[in-house]
Amino acid sequence: MVVPVSTLTGWDKCFDENLKPVVMPDNRGKTGKVTVEMVRCIVHRAKGYQSRRIRLKQFAADLKQHEGIEMGVKTIEEILIANDLYKVRTRKKRPRYYQSLRQQLPNGLLSIDGSDMIVWVGETPYRFNVELAVDVATFAHTAFTVADSETAEEVIKVLEMHRRDWGVPVGILSDSGSANLSEAVKDYMKDLGIEPVPVGPGNPKGNGTDEGAFSHMKRALGRIRLDASSPKALARSVLEALVSVYIHMRNRLCACGRTAPPGQHMSQPVSVEQRNTERLRLKDHVAAKVAGEQDQVKLDRLHWVIRHYGLDVTPDELKRAQRTIKGYELEAIRLTETAFLKATQRKAERRSLPYFFGILKNIQQQRDDDAKRDYCRQRYNHEAMLRLERQKNEQPKPASIENVLGMLEKAVTVNVRFVKELAIRKARQWTLEMIASCHYLGPIKKKVEDALVNLKHLSIEQRESAWELFCQFLKTNEQESRVTLSL
């Protein structure tokens, strides 16, 4: 059982030396209100951490020990974010769009990759590149070469060994290395009618077949060291023998939940129709490959993107995309459409559904981070809390038209939510106080209307919004008066 040391340390703190659980105090619901003094102290202490990274649990323990502030880690994090002292990290689990490369056809898709392996002869290390071919469907190790580096000649040599023993595969899955993309390899595959299938982002399979094979091989062989001084050819021959033994034994073991070993499975006959069907499927995958319900509108946007750009998607890919897009905001989808249009105008090969979802994922993550940052600033920004405290401590202003207009101006110009709510509340309070001291509302409405017209620094929309708020205060007063009279 592999358990991290940090986890074991945490478990150890929960028990005493007799393995009895330690009674931990439960302070849930007992913490007080976050005050300006607390925020000021946290901000001041956090600024002393600018030379090193703030670790929240350690910082919370430091506050408790030296400042006597006992506060949850989440609240401390929000205070630090609100004052630009901690980076926003939002992790919302959303379904991820990907393209599948699952295989059922033996010798349909062949994965090729190279990996460095070191042979020690005495104290001298010799580094070799092992180029390995593995069938994706059966996990059969079909061919390999050992050379000084990964070159186009080694790739062709592996393909030729595979072709000699197992026949021509339908497609080759490889990374974007210079050897795999060389003209010699492309011409070789073109002459044999082999479909190139490059690995890319958004594909969970990737080239993991070969990477998993190398991992098993290196774990089985361990570190190769020869305690004798000999030429490099000896090290190479030993490595070739070890890899040969490993592949021979590995192909005798069943893999991928099958009852037959890979070698026997690779020998099964495959009809021409099956190979042609697999060839078309790989062509469709390469054509549609890309770098990148909550309501019906999101699905309509998705279908519009597919129709407008002429994206070629299979029924499984469309079903996966419909399920994925429901986890994203409509505004993020709209912004993604604009970014996707600009990206495809620069490079036409980016016109694919996975590339669209890659842009959508990045935009949604940025929106999540911005939303959390704004939320924290509205609640715990030190300067805003000081400003609000000063406003509360100030002497109450008389209910006058100038003061009401000042509050209405703040209500229509300030973007911070709690400041806007405070301004509306104050403006309503002073308006009702003015109305209570007079018998006729006509002069007050006329003065407020004329004063709003003279506020030239406000836009027409802002002045109209301020006037609508003032009229709402008057209607609220009339409704309250009717209720009082009926009682």
For residue 207, name the pLDDT band (cuts at 50, 70, 90).
low
Summarize the chain as % helix, strand, coil (round to 5). 55, 10, 35
Token look-up 């192909």 returns: 251
More confident residue, 89 or 104: 89
Amino acid symbol at 170: V
Question: What does the pLDDT look like over 120-136, one tens digit per residue?
Answer: 777 788 889 889 888 88
pLDDT of residue 6 exceeding 80: no
pLDDT of amino acid 363? 93
* Token reading at 224: 């190769």
Mean pLDDT of 209-218: 73
pLDDT of residue 458 exceeding 80: yes
Give the whole-number percent of the chain exceeding pLDDT 90: 5
pLDDT of amino acid 335? 93
pLDDT of amino acid 295? 63
Q: Which of 25-39, 196-210, 330-344 has the highest mean pLDDT?
A: 330-344
pLDDT of residue 388 exceeding 80: no
pLDDT of amino acid 204? 40
Q: Could you tell me which residues come within 8 angstroms of residue 229 by beta carbon, excluding any fewer than 6 positions away?
A: 121, 122, 124
Question: What does the pLDDT look like over 278-308, one tens digit per residue?
Answer: 888 787 777 655 333 446 888 888 999 999 8
Predicted structure pTM score: 0.38
pLDDT of residue 222 exceeding 70: no
pLDDT of amino acid 482? 46
pLDDT of amino acid 486? 37
pLDDT of residue 339 exceeding 90: yes
Q: Could you tell me which residues come within 8 angstroms of residue 153 by beta carbon, excluding any fewer than 6 positions away?
A: 147, 184
With H, G, I as helix, E, B as strand and everything else as coil, classify residue 445. helix
For residue 362, name the pLDDT band (cuts at 50, 70, 90).
very high
For residue 361, name the pLDDT band (cuts at 50, 70, 90).
very high
Question: What does the pLDDT look like over 408-450, one tens digit per residue?
Answer: 888 888 877 777 888 888 888 888 888 777 777 778 888 888 8
Mean pLDDT of 373-379: 83
pLDDT of residue 478 exceeding 70: no
DSSP letter assigned to residue 97:
P
pLDDT of amino acid 374? 86
Give me the residues paired with residue 111 across strands: 134, 173
pLDDT of amino acid 98? 63
pLDDT of residue 168 exceeding 70: yes
pLDDT of amino acid 292? 33
For residue 243, name the pLDDT band (cuts at 50, 70, 90).
confident
Give the whole-number percent of the chain exceeding pLDDT 70: 81
Beta strand extents in 148-266 (DSSP E only): 171-174, 195-198, 224-226
pLDDT of residue 367 exceeding 70: yes
Question: What does the pLDDT look like over 95-113, one tens digit per residue?
Answer: 777 666 666 678 888 888 8
Superfamily for domain range 109-266: Ribonuclease H-like superfamily/Ribonuclease H (3.30.420.10)
d(CA 84, CA 54): 12
pLDDT of amino acid 95? 74
For residue 231, name the pLDDT band (cuts at 50, 70, 90).
confident
Average pLDDT, the chain: 79
Q: What angle do CA 178, 181, 183 make, to 5 degrees?
A: 110
pLDDT of amino acid 102? 60
Confirm if 60 and 76 have CB atoms less than 8 A apart: yes
Nearest to 213 by CA among 165, 264, 172, 253: 253
Token look-up 């106080």 returns: 433
For residue 483, name the pLDDT band (cuts at 50, 70, 90).
very low
More confident residue, 82 or 6: 82
Q: Where are the domains of the chain?
A: 5-82, 109-266, 289-361, 395-486
Q: Could you tell me which residues come within 8 angstroms of residue 165 by beta carbon, excluding any fewer than 6 positions away?
A: 142, 143
Token look-up 């620069």 returns: 346
pLDDT of amino acid 356? 92
* Token reading at 459: 């836009």
pLDDT of amino acid 487? 32
pLDDT of amino acid 279? 84
